[in-house]
Structure 1
Amino acid sequence: MTRTTSVPSATPAAGTSTDTGTPLAFSTRGLRAELTTPGAKIPLQEETLVVNLSAEPLDLHTERPSQVAPLQSALLDRVTLRHPAPLLLLTGMNTERIADLGARENWLRIGNDPAVAAGAGEGAPFPAGTPLWRSPIAQLGTVTLPAQLLGAPSEASTPVPLKLQANLWYAPAGTDCHIHRRHDFLEVHTQVAGRGRMQKFHAQDAETRYQDVVLEPGSTHAPFCGYDATATWSYPWHRYWADTDCVWLALEYHPC
């Protein structure tokens, strides 16, 4: 694939494969999201947010050893990628106009979804007036992960097959994206543009916050769930908080 520093003038057609990858449904007018073909040789010629979706480290083949760890990400340029598992690539981050991105792209405003606005069945419901938008969701296939990456005890030995899906989120500066804790899957978030944070709480109460995980463009937080022998995920109360206008990537690893 030939990569240039120009930005596409229109959203690439989702599902149109090339010899190195497939554009994803949440690509925007300025931001291209692509899932690579396993084993493809991909020379990067512009700044690219590279997300390692798999349990295998991504070796960058530079003069000094350098890797992108499993379920982590990096802003990369002027390197050639080759990985046995698919990678998620995002380009055009620096040229996409962030303000009002969700409305411009006609994404789902979460408060307009009755199922979400009614709450997830635990604690206070999602406030319908929250300015939070979700892009279309892309299904990225099946990934097998060591149980330890899911938060299982270190003695756990059976790898876990999971269905992976991904989407983008947009929220303007100062948005409280709601304290919650119910998830039946593993989730991690990658910051695409702006500055945000994942916050952890002892209860569904902002006054009980005990940790902030700051997210700058290119960073992915480590999983912070627990996982047990009954295939149950347990999370602390947590939320995303947008310090500035923000775009971030959600990766969800669901049971098969």
Structure 2
Amino acid sequence: MPTEVITIGEPFFGLRHISDEATVDINERAIVLNVADRAIQVEAQLLQPLQSAIFANVTLRDVDRAIVIDRFDSHDSDDALCEEVRKAWPTAFEKRGEERLRGVEHYMSPKTFVGNIGLSIYHSASVPLNVGLHNEHPFCPVPGFREVHTQLVGYGKMQQCKERDPATLYLEEPMAPGITHRPMYDAEGNYPWHQFETTTPSIFLALEILPEGAEIPDVGGQND
């Protein structure tokens, strides 16, 4: 199936999973996230694995596997969009039940899997967000779990810390629409203490790649 429509962002965003295409035309502005293990050719440049950018009026070549996000900037007001999202989506605490999310203005779309890739969208409403540092993903006990986040709306920062204390921050990456932070896991899938923090109210896509042998969780429940 070369193109699969993903509905978790509706009616706010359009998502597509594209695979095994020699060429893909991107006409209107869209964020393209390369989720394959090899690069996508874009004009005379390469979009490397787990990199993203905003594209328009261009043909992508040698697309092994990619997520395309449409309509990320087609709304008139970020504030109005976020207000509608809060009406439509439950809080992440209601969906996942993690104590670190209790009382946090963090909202979550439905979640779906495309093969071994899990996709969900989050709206972080408060500044600061205070979502809490974490370094584990307990629903995937198999080593090699990979996760990145792609900014869709607003601005934020992905922070890494040496300990479970924001005062031990050692790396911070700015997040703006179209940007995916660099992977932070090691070869065994170990993560530093990390969190997303808001600069403005934000919406981002969370992408989870399960390793071989991992069981796809029940997305009707509370998993992230």
TM-score normalised to structure 2 length: 0.82
Letter in 1 for 2:124: A
Contact kept? 1:59, 1:66, Cα under 8 Å? yes
In the alignment, what sits opposite 2:130?
176
Correspondence 1:77 to 2:51: no
Question: Is it true that 1:55 corresponds to 2:37 in the alignment?
Answer: yes
**Separation of aligned partners in 1, 2:5 and 2:118:** 14
Contact kept in structure 1, 2:151 and 2:180, CA below 8 Å: yes
Q: What residue is the counterpart of 2:81 in the other structure?
A: 98
SS of the aligned residue for 2:62 comes to coil
Structure 1 residues without counterparts, runs of 5 or longer: 1-16, 118-124, 142-162
CA distance in 2, matches of 1:55, 1:101: 36
AA aligned opposite 1:38: D
Give the distance between the partners of 1:30 and 1:236, measured in 2 at CA.
32
Higher relative contact order (CA 8 A, sep 6+): 2
RMSD: 1.9
Matched, 1:126 2:100: yes
**8 Å Cα contact 1:98-1:245 kept in structure 2:** no
Structure 2, unpaired ranges of 5+: 214-224
Moved over 6 A (4+): none
Aligned pairs, how many? Answer: 201
1:136 to 107, 110, 130: 110
SS of the residue corresponding to residue 85 of structure 1 reads strand
> Counterparts of 1:37 and 1:211 in 2: how far apart (Å)?
33
State the distance in 2 between where 1:198 and 1:227 align: 20
Per-residue deviation, residues 212-254 of structure 1 (Å, max 9, x unmatched): 11111111111111233xxxx2111110101111111111011
Q: Identity of aligned pairs, percent?
A: 24
Alpha carbons of structure 1 residues 177 and 101: separation in structure 2 relative to 1, 3 Å: farther
- The answer to whether the 8 A contact 1:30-1:95 is kept is no
For the residue of structure 2 that corresponds to 1:227, the secondary structure is coil
CA-to-aligned-CA distance 1:57-97 (integer Å, 9 cap, x gap): 0001x2xx111111110100110123342211111111244
Q: Which has the larger radius of gyration?
A: 1
After TM superposition, the score normalised by the length of structure 1 is 0.72
